[in-house]
């Protein structure tokens, strides 16, 4: 048993916990952070950058977005079902946060859209001076370096277990256990919970949202996100909120493999359901949230992306219809071979190849083959004129005619969960009567309910942006609280 | 060993001349990225991440393969070096998946961590992904070699460190890959030590999900037998000692955690074997029987001198009520910590269930008394025939009291008509009568009511007393009992009446039979715990007998007169929690073993005795540290190859024929022969070797040593 003393204990060191650790340590507070993984950064190490509104980059690039415009579209999108004060405060702080990160040494490649219809709010962290992958990891390192320079201490492989409150109800300590099983107790005034949700806990997702893993939800696996922060906070008296999944759609077994496979199947071609009907304007397939939602409500929670050999040939010659930074490949030369590898792997049912459309439908398990053939015929006709069903732009209308045909079997998945701990716009944790619990803060995904039912993809960078900004709010709040105390 | 001085990033460093530049830097908290380097393995300089600039040398050098030299000047953050590192990183992402999504190693991946540190996350080079599919066909470990970056640590660990070489580099479809040297790990004579998993920096080779418990500290989790044992006996270490022919050493290792190696070797319910990873290959190592072998071949008892050594006397007096396994274990450790301990035993012999609650043929009295003698030799005083009526009163004379009376009163189902007849007994009454040579009127035929292990203990005992024995139980095939114990009793001639429910004990002043009927199913009401059964119509009949034995569980037999607060079932409670625990309602009076847990197994009582002794020592002003080291250990990591290792079958002890063994109370088996013990210990996967390997470190570990806030 080890006894430690601190002003602030931070549970979880993703971008929210790291931002909080920088702010609190910057204010001269003694900060101890517990991380159960070997590295800090959390899921954001896979991300590319946070949202910013009204930044220098947007001004330089003449991007027309400001807080008022973003706020209005956001509240319209969420039907005002979310905390307007938090949204406003977050958006207003976001430009300053980008500058703050730059002061920490983070370079940004610029402000970007995720897909054509979105706004250029995504501030992508420069990797080797340009756009690379996983820039979030570099941003997180900058925050960690700063916090450590300020004297914050980080304990790895040391999950926090319990948040303690004193007789008056104020936060007074945290218990943790290191990898060798030694118990650590810290006396502290402030706890900031930022553990990133429950994206690796099918049980908790079932309990809170009713999803059944492998049936109507697939492969949300960001190792370690077990919802412990949410459970710990609730156990310590926090009120809970509605939880949602940050929905996407994936090929459950092939998302990690050869990149050309998911990339080609995510192109805006023909997407049908198990009844053989279209159910979406495939242009939307770039909006992974909307498409995830649409697939979720189909029978069997499955969507079949259909392409033919002509389309592959066109893509090889002229390039893909749509690319984004996440799904980015230099070429798709290995597409057919990679598909064949998947077909040969009995453990991977994600791809079907067939010489005829009938055979394709049967192999896919499409229940109404005649309907499917009719859908393809109508679709092909519309390719000559226009999409009178869902109004997809003509440039994305490519007929399905030449075998072999390929189908990618898409399923709903998610980037993780959202929400769980009730806070106000200052990131103070509230109890069931909406009273502030003194010294108790939470930030990041554990608290993020600002999107309502579906992730707001029109302002990309939102997940990480919310985390960094609320992390800062929590750290600043902790500093004020300790000063008053 | 000569020392040399060198400069790294402007810092003067003095170190041993045999160190490499990388080691010198890391030892001094200067991080240089490295991946193919592992401190337990021979460097191969392949990943090129650890390049640094050496003043006066053109280009860069690999710091993992360059020895330090006097006067060397090293720059780790040299521009060229950083450029090469980024390029190396990029090369790894040519083959490694560019997205971490879905990778179970995420958050513990050295490649991701290095990429974060180097600031290069790939994608500048054209991707050339490895088309290898995930392979879960091997036991214990899985291979997702499309994540492999060819650092070769697994190949070196398996080859140089273990001498097994089940993994190798090979060209597949014209590209270099790490592959299994054979059709499967088993065919490659893998020893399943897990070193490859331990050193893999990415998610390429991993433990299968569920192989290790996540709720235990590392040293227990990675060695599941040790983790599952309630006393955490260092099982791989004593198996190794037996394998080396050193049973004394094995017993020393066992005695570091438990004072009853022989008793446990005979009757432990061996939960260690549930953890044994060998079960995924064929069947677990027969750990309990090896323990018995060690205890029975412990000729010189070389551990004894250290074992009997006790701390300076504290002057504190402790009374232990109950001389069973729990009480005696606690007594041994409390005496060891310097307290004067007196054990009060109500019967005329110590040992509790070991000497009077289990059959002699399973656990001979002599074996138990020999082990108790050692505890006495260490200075514990045991007073027999001395029941204690009130623990609170006793506390007035002692600094601390432990209530460890177990569950020593057998339950009788008093609602059954006729249960007050004179020849109606509890299981414990029969077992005690036999062990303690007391007269008991059983007649010729005994009907035992109950279908658990105790029922069959009574059956075996009564058979050996020359009786005709019937076991009557609700469960089909007496499924509550362990199949081995049930079958052994049936072989010896016990008659089983399964799926039977009881109506009444018949007899007028003397038992004449048991009236029963058959049932098709039954369950217990979850609310009231009352029996709910589906009787078969018109199936009532009588099983004649001269006596009835209830094997229906045991209780503490405590009443309020004992001076401590009890729950409604007669178990002591800790008012602070409302549940049974080590503390009772009286300050300084503790409780442990079956008396707080209900009837459990021997090892649970011993583990409880250890825990409560530690707590009581702290209560008496000590540090509570009861762990002891009785022998040194060395585990040779170079385990080498054994042909057909994975297929070696589990050894079983040879048992005497039922016809012979039912004639006396001698043990059913003589135990393992030397050959059997040697073979069986050789099956051990030596999971503990993995703990010898240096844990993987990350760049943040070199700046994040968090001790500053310690009080």
Tokens 């600039």 locate to B53
pLDDT at A257: 73
For B514, the 3-state DSSP assignment is strand
Same fold flag, A2-243+419-484 and A249-413:
no
Q: How many CB atoms lie within 10 A of CB B165?
A: 16
Q: Which of A417, A445, A418 is nearest to A201 (CA)?
A: A417
Q: Using an 8 Å Cβ cutoff, are B331 and B610 in contact?
A: no
Q: Name the strand (E) or helix (H) holding B676.
A: helix B674-682
pLDDT at B708: 37
Indicate the Cα dihedral angle B176, B181, B183, B186, nearest 10°.
Answer: -140
Chain A residues inside the 8 Å CB shell of B122: 132-134
Give the C-alpha separation, B391 to B590, whole Å: 10
Q: Using an 8 Å Cβ cutoff, are B677 and B212 in contact?
A: no
Contact B133 A341 (CB under 8 A): yes
Contact B107 A338 (CB under 8 A): no
Mean pLDDT of the region B103-130: 84
The residues near A18 (Cβ < 8 Å, ≥ 6 apart) are A40, A41, A140, A143, A144, A147, A471
Give the C-alpha separation, B179 to A200, whole Å: 30
pLDDT at A327: 61
In terms of pLDDT, which residue wins out, B268 or A458? B268
The shortest C-alpha distance from A105 to chain B (Å) reads 12
Residue B42 — pLDDT band, cuts 50, 70, 90?
Answer: confident
The shortest C-alpha distance from B554 to chain A (Å) reads 35
**What is the tens place of the pLDDT at every residue in B273-332?**
999 999 999 999 999 999 999 999 999 999 999 999 999 999 999 999 999 999 999 999
**What is the tens place of the pLDDT at every residue in B675-698?**
999 999 999 999 999 999 998 989
* pLDDT above 70 for A331: yes
DSSP at B646: G
For residue A23, report the phi and psi dihedrals to the nearest 5 degrees: -60, -45
Q: How many CB atoms lie within 10 A of CB B660?
A: 11
pLDDT at B706: 39
Residue A20 — pLDDT band, cuts 50, 70, 90?
Answer: very high
Q: Name the strand (E) or helix (H) holding B503.
A: strand B500-507
pLDDT at B526: 85
* pLDDT above 50 for B473: yes
DSSP lists the bridge partners of residue A412 as A249
Q: How many CB atoms lie within 10 A of CB B4?
A: 18
Tokens coding B566:
């009890």
Tokens coding A398:
């490519």
* pLDDT above 80 for B589: yes
Q: Using an 8 Å Cβ cutoff, are A141 and B120 in contact?
A: no
Of the partner residues A32, A38, A46, the one whose CB lies closest to the CB of residue B100: A46
Contact B131 A132 (CB under 8 A): no
Q: Using an 8 Å Cβ cutoff, are A158 and A184 in contact?
A: yes
pLDDT at B98: 78
* pLDDT above 50 for B112: yes
Contact B708 A133 (CB under 8 A): no
The shortest C-alpha distance from A17 to chain B (Å) reads 15
Tokens coding A300:
């069997």
Chain A residues inside the 8 Å CB shell of B107: 37-39, 42, 223-224
DSSP at B389: S
Contact B709 A40 (CB under 8 A): no
Q: Using an 8 Å Cβ cutoff, are B302 and B294 in contact?
A: no
Q: Which of B11, B158, B100 is nearest to A46 (CA)?
A: B100
Chain A residues inside the 8 Å CB shell of B627: none
Q: Using an 8 Å Cβ cutoff, are A437 and A171 in contact?
A: yes
Mean pLDDT of the region A58-85: 94
* pLDDT above 60 for B709: no
The mean pLDDT of chain A is: 94
Contact A132 B121 (CB under 8 A): yes
Among the ranges given (A109-123, A144-158, B290-304), the one the predictor scored with the smallest mean pLDDT:
A109-123
**What is the tens place of the pLDDT at every residue in A402-428?**
999 999 999 999 889 999 999 999 999
Mean pLDDT of the region B564-589: 94
**What is the tens place of the pLDDT at every residue in A188-223?**
999 999 999 999 999 999 999 999 998 999 877 778
**What is the tens place of the pLDDT at every residue in B232-265?**
999 999 999 999 999 999 999 999 999 999 999 9
Of the partner residues B102, B121, B218, the one whose CB lies closest to the CB of residue A256: B102
Mean pLDDT of the region B519-537: 90
pLDDT at B703: 65
Cis peptide before B355 (omega within 30 of 0): no
What is the b/e burial string over B661-695, where b = at least 16 CB atoms within 10 angstroms of the residue's CB?
A: bbeebebbeebbeeebbbbbbebbbbbbbbeebee
Of the partner residues A4, A30, A41, the one whose CB lies closest to the CB of residue B710: A4
DSSP at B535: E
Tokens coding B649:
């079958």
* pLDDT above 50 for B403: yes
Q: In angstroms, what is the C-alpha Rg of chain A?
A: 24
DSSP at B245: T
- For chain B, domains (ranges, CATH) are 3-94 (3.10.20.740), 130-207 (3.30.70.20), 218-303+631-691 (1.10.1060), 314-408+556-619 (3.50.50.60), 413-554 (3.50.50.60)
Instruction: Please give the residue of chain B at the shortest CA–CA distance from A342.
Output: B133
Tokens coding A305:
């992306």
pLDDT at A413: 92
- For chains A and B, CB pairs below 8 A equal 149
Contact B112 A2 (CB under 8 A): no
Mean pLDDT of the region B449-470: 95
pLDDT at B100: 82
The residues near A212 (Cβ < 8 Å, ≥ 6 apart) are A206
pLDDT at B123: 65
pLDDT at A436: 98
Domain boundaries, chain A: 2-243+419-484, 249-413
**What is the tens place of the pLDDT at every residue in A270-310?**
999 999 999 999 999 988 899 999 999 999 999 999 999 99
CATH number belonging to domain A2-243+419-484: 3.50.50.60
CA-angle at B697, arms to B691 and B703, nearest 5°: 135
DSSP lists the bridge partners of residue B202 as none
Tokens coding A312:
């592959």
Of the partner residues A186, A257, A334, the one whose CB lies closest to the CB of residue B146: A257
Tokens coding A81:
């079902």
Mutation target for A interface from B99, B109, B711: give the one with most A CBs within 10 A: B99
Chain B residues inside the 8 Å CB shell of A256: 97, 99, 101-103
pLDDT at B214: 87
Give the C-alpha separation, B54 to B20, whole Å: 13
**What is the tens place of the pLDDT at every residue in B412-443?**
888 899 999 999 999 999 999 999 999 999 99
Q: Which of B144, B36, B47 is nearest to B97 (CA)?
A: B144
Mutation target for A interface from B116, B209, B214: give the one with most A CBs within 10 A: B116
Chain B residues inside the 8 Å CB shell of A154: 700, 704, 706
Give the C-alpha separation, A439 to B92, whole Å: 45
What is the b/e burial string over B12-22, where b = at least 16 CB atoms within 10 angstroms of the residue's CB?
A: ebebeeebbbb
3-state helix, strand, coil in chain B (%, to 5): 30, 20, 50
pLDDT at B704: 39
pLDDT at B45: 79
Q: Using an 8 Å Cβ cutoff, are B27 and B19 in contact?
A: yes
* pLDDT above 70 for B711: no
Residue A325 — pLDDT band, cuts 50, 70, 90?
Answer: low
* pLDDT above 80 for A324: no
Q: Tell me the ipTM for this assembly.
A: 0.84
The residues near A393 (Cβ < 8 Å, ≥ 6 apart) are A283, A387
Mean pLDDT of the region A434-461: 94
The residues near B111 (Cβ < 8 Å, ≥ 6 apart) are B35, B92, B96, B149, B201, B202
Chain A residues inside the 8 Å CB shell of B126: 330
* pLDDT above 70 for A326: no
What is the b/e burial string over B431-466, where b = at least 16 CB atoms within 10 angstroms of the residue's CB?
A: bbbbbeeeeeebeebbbbbbbbbbbbbbbbbbbbee
Tokens coding A464:
């990480």
3-state secondary structure chain A: CEEEECCEEEECCCHHHHHHHHHHHHCCCCEEEECCCCCCCHHHHHCCCCECCCCHHHHHCCCCCCHHHHHHHHHHHCCCCCCHHHHHHHHHHHHHHHHHHHHCCCCEEEEECCCCCCCCCEEEEEECCEECCCHHHHHHHHHHHHHHHCCCEEECCCCEEEEEECCCCCEEEEEEECCCCCEEEEECCEEEECCCCCCCCHHHHHHHHCCCECCCECCCCCCCCCCHHHHHHHHCCCCECCCEEEEEEECCCCCCCCCHHHHHHCCCCEEECCCCCECCCHHHHHCHHHHHHHHHCCHHHCEEEEECHHHHHHHHHHCCCCCCCCCCCCCCCCHHHHHHHHHHCCCCCCEEEECCHHHHHHHHCCCCHHHHHHHHHHHHHHHHCCCCCCCCCHHHCCCCCCCCEEEEEEEEEEEEEECCECECCCCEEECCCCCEEEEEEECHHHHCCCCCCCCCCCCCCHHHHHHHHHHHHHHHHHHHHHHHC
Mean pLDDT of the region A52-81: 94
The shortest C-alpha distance from A30 to chain B (Å) reads 9
Overall fold of domain A249-413: Flavocytochrome C3; Chain A, domain 1 (3.90.700)
The shortest C-alpha distance from B128 to chain A (Å) reads 9
DSSP at B645: G
Tokens coding A163:
């948040």
* pLDDT above 90 for A457: no
Chain B residues inside the 8 Å CB shell of A174: none
Contact A133 B123 (CB under 8 A): yes
Tokens coding A480:
């004020």
Q: Using an 8 Å Cβ cutoff, are B398 and B340 in contact?
A: no
Q: What percent of chain A has pLDDT over 70?
A: 98
């Amino acid at each position: 048993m080890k006894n430690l003393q601190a002003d602030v204990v931070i549970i979880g060191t993703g971008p929210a916990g790291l931002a909080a650790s920088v702010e609190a340590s910057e204010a001269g507070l003694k900060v101890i952070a517990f991380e159960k993984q070997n590295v800090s950064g959390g899921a954001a190490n896979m991300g590319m950058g946070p949202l910013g509104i009204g930044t220098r980059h947007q001004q330089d690039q003449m991007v027309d977005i400001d807080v008022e415009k973003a706020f209005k579209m956001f509240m319209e999108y969420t039907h005002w079902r979310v905390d307007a004060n938090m949204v406003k405060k977050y958006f207003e702080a976001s430009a300053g946060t980008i500058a703050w990160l730059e002061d920490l040494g983070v370079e940004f490649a610029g402000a970007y859209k995720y897909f054509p219809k979105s706004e250029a709010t995504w501030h992508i962290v420069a990797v080797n001076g340009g756009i690379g992958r996983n820039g979030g990891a570099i941003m997180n390192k900058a925050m960690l370096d700063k916090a450590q320079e300020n004297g914050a201490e980080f304990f790895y492989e040391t999950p926090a277990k319990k948040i303690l409150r004193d007789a008056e109800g104020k936060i007074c300590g945290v218990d943790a256990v290191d990898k060798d099983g030694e118990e650590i107790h810290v006396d502290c005034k402030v706890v900031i919970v930022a553990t990133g949700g429950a994206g690796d806990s099918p049980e908790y997702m079932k309990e809170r949202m009713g999803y059944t893993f492998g049936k109507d939800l697939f492969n949300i696996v960001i190792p370690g996100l077990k919802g412990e922060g949410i459970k710990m906070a609730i156990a310590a008296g926090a009120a809970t909120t509605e939880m949602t999944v940050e929905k996407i759609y994936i090929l459950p077994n092939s998302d990690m493999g050869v990149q050309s496979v998911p990339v080609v199947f995510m192109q805006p071609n023909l997407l049908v359901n198990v009844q053989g009907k279209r159910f979406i304007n495939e242009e939307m397939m770039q909006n992974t949230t909307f498409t995830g939602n649409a697939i979720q409500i189909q029978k069997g929670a499955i969507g079949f992306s259909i392409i033919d050999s002509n389309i592959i040939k066109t893509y090889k010659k002229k390039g893909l219809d749509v690319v984004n930074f996440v799904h980015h490949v230099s070429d798709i030369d290995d597409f057919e071979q990679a598909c064949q590898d998947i077909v040969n792997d009995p453990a991977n049912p994600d791809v079907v190849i067939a010489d005829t459309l009938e055979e394709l439908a049967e192999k896919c398990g499409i229940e109404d083959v005649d309907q499917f053939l009719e859908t393809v015929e109508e679709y092909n006709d519309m390719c000559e004129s226009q999409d009178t069903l869902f109004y997809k732009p003509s440039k994305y209308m490519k007929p399905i005619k030449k075998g072999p045909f390929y189908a990618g079997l898409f399923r709903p998945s998610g980037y993780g969960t959202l929400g769980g701990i009730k806070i106000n716009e200052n990131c103070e944790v509230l109890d069931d009567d909406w009273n502030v619990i003194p010294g108790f803060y939470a930030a990041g995904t554990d608290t993020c309910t600002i999107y309502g039912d579906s992730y707001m993809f029109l302002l990309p960078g939102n997940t990480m942006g919310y985390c960094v900004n609320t992390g800062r709010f929590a750290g600043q709040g902790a500093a004020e609280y300790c000063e008053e105390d | 060993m000569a020392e040399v001085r060198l400069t790294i990033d402007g810092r003067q460093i003095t170190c041993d001349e045999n160190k490499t530049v990388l080691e010198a830097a890391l030892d001094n908290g200067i991080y240089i990225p490295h991946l193919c380097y592992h401190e337990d393995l021979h460097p191969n300089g392949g990943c090129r991440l650890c390049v640094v600039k050496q003043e006066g040398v053109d280009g860069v050098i690999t710091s993992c393969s360059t020895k330090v030299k006097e006067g060397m000047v090293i720059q780790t953050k040299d521009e060229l070096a950083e450029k090469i590192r980024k390029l190396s990183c990029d090369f790894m992402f040519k083959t490694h998946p560019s997205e971490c999504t879905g990778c179970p190693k995420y958050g513990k991946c050295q490649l991701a961590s290095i990429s974060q540190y180097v600031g290069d996350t790939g994608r500048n080079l054209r991707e050339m992904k490895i088309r290898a599919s995930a392979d879960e066909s091997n036991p214990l470990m899985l291979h997702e070699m499309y994540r492999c970056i060819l650092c070769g640590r697994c190949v070196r660990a398996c080859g140089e460190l273990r001498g097994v070489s089940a993994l190798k580099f090979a060209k597949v479809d014209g590209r270099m890959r790490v592959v299994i040297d054979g059709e499967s790990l088993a065919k490659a004579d893998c020893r399943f030590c897990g070193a490859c998993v331990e050193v893999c920096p990415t998610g390429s080779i991993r433990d299968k999900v569920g192989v290790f418990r996540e709720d235990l500290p590392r040293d227990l989790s990675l060695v599941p037998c040790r983790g599952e044992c309630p006393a955490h006996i260092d099982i791989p270490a004593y198996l190794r000692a037996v394998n080396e022919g050193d049973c004394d050493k094995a017993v020393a290792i066992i005695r570091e955690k438990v004072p009853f190696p022989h008793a446990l070797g005979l009757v432990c319910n061996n939960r260690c074997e549930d953890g044994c990873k060998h079960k995924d290959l064929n069947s677990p190592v027969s750990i309990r029987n090896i323990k018995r072998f060690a205890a029975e071949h412990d000729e010189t008892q070389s551990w004894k001198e250290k074992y009997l050594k006790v701390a300076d006397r504290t002057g504190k007096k402790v009374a232990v009520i109950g001389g069973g396994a729990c009480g005696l274990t606690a007594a041994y450790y409390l005496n060891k910590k310097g307290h004067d301990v007196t054990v009060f035993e109500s019967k005329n012999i110590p040992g509790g269930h070991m000497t009077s609650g289990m059959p002699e043929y399973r656990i001979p009295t002599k074996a138990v008394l020999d082990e108790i003698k050692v505890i006495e030799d260490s200075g514990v005083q045991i007073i027999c025939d001395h029941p204690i009526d009130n623990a609170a009163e006793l506390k007035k004379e002692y600094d601390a009291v432990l209530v460890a009376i177990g569950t020593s009163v057998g339950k009788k189902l008093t609602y059954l008509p006729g249960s007050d007849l004179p020849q109606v007994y509890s299981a414990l009454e029969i077992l005690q009568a036999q062990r303690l040579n007391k007269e008991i009127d059983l007649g010729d035929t005994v009907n035992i009511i109950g279908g658990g292990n105790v029922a069959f203990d009574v059956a075996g005992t009564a058979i050996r007393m020359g009786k005709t024995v019937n076991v009557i139980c609700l469960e089909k095939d007496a499924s509550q009992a362990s199949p081995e114990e049930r079958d052994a009793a049936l072989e010896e001639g016990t008659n089983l009446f399964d799926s039977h429910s009881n109506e009444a004990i018949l007899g007028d002043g003397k038992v004449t039979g048991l009236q029963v009927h058959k049932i098709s199913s039954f369950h217990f009401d979850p609310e009231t715990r009352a029996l709910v059964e589906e009787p078969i119509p018109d199936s009532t009949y009588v099983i004649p007998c001269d006596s009835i034995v209830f094997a229906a569980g045991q209780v503490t037999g405590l009443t309020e007169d004992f001076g401590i607060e009890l729950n409604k079932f007669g178990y002591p409670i800790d008012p602070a929690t409302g549940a049974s625990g080590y503390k009772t309602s009286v300050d300084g009076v503790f409780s442990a073993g079956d008396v707080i847990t209900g009837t459990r197994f021997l090892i649970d009582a011993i583990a409880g005795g250890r825990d409560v002794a530690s707590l009581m020592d702290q209560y008496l002003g000590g540090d509570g540290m009861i762990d002891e080291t009785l022998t040194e250990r060395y585990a040779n990591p170079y385990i080498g190859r054994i042909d057909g290792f994975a297929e070696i079958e589990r050894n079983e002890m040879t048992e005497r024929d039922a016809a012979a063994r039912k004639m006396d109370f001698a043990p059913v088996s003589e135990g393992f022969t030397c050959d059997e013990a040697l073979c069986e210990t050789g099956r051990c996967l030596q999971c503990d070797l993995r703990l010898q390997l240096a844990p993987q470190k990350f760049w943040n570990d070199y700046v994040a040593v968090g001790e500053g806030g310690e009080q």
